[in-house]
Structure 1
Amino acid sequence: MTAALKRAKPYIEQRDGGYWIEETRISLDSVVYAFLNGESPESIAQNFPLLSLEQVYGAITFYLANRELIDAYLEEGEKEFEKLQQSLREKNPPLYQKLKAAQIQKHSKA
């Protein structure tokens, strides 16, 4: 007797100019950066309790199958973030310094 195979699920969807875990508000970026930082799929699933382990593996598989495309997408996002940081530095130096100090403090505790 053969068990029925499940049809492959689309774990990732494109919306609002980004990639998201299907039917969630969790970005693919979040899972990919955690994966690239050496976190295991199990650890990622623990850090994102709304995601099942299956969804995490699905997101990682999507990334690995589309690595060149997603790496370019992530790089573009980093460039956009740099532009926003530069704009904040120029428009509101005191606020930028407070945010930078909070970031340094957060990383020193980790």
Structure 2
Amino acid sequence: MALAIALEPTPIEIDAHGIVRVAKTRVTLDTVVSAFLEGCTPEEIGEQYPTLELSDIYLVIGYYLRHREEVHSYLAERESQAMMIQQEAEQRFSPIGLRERLLNRRSKSV
């Protein structure tokens, strides 16, 4: 019996917001790659994110290993966007004095 060799497509998709997700799930490429870089095995990643198929996790890690430069560029861009969003949020809603404001509001309602 001959072994059939088939190419498996990488189970990643880009959503409407430009975020790369794994195989029709809400789990991002960032999440899987970060867990892998922190030393998690594919099985451990699968335990943390049960919506992912183990075979998809292996394919995503394989994609990362073959395209490190592109993935790192994508992750750096996502990190930059996250920092900009956080700065905008902190400018609009200053966290300085937040605890005191919440405690004051709470004491007035009691």
| Equivalent residue, structure 2, for 1:74 | 75
**Would you say the 8 A contact 2:10–2:63 is kept in 1?**
no
Q: Which residue of 2 aligns with 1:57?
A: 58
1:84-95 to structure 2, matched below 5 A, reads: 84-94=85-95
RMSD: 2.1
Q: Deviations over 1:9-53 (max 9, x none)?
A: 332222321212122222111101111111111100110101121
Structure 2: 5+ residue stretches without partners: 100-110
Give the TM-score normalised by structure 1: 0.77
Q: What is the number of equivalent residue pairs in this alignment?
A: 98
Kindly, what percent of the aligned residue pairs are identical? 35
Gaps of 5+ in 1: 99-110
1:67 deviation in Å? Answer: 0.7
Q: Distance in 2 between matches of 1:25 and 1:58?
A: 17
Asked whether the equivalents of residues 89 and 96 of structure 1 are also in contact (C-alpha less than 8 Å), the reply is: no
Question: Quick one: distance in 2 between partners of 1:47 and 1:2?
Answer: 37
Higher percent of residues as helix: 1
Greater C-alpha radius of gyration:
2
Give the secondary structure class of the aligned counterpart of 2:13.
Answer: strand
Code of the residue aligned with 2:74 in structure 1: it is Y
Aligned residue runs from structure 1 range 43-54, under 5 A: 43-54=44-55
Which residue in 2 is equivalent to 1:23? 24
How much has 1:95 moved relative to structure 2? 8.1
- State the 4+ residue runs in structure 1 displaced beyond 6 angstroms: none
Match of 2:40 in 1: 39
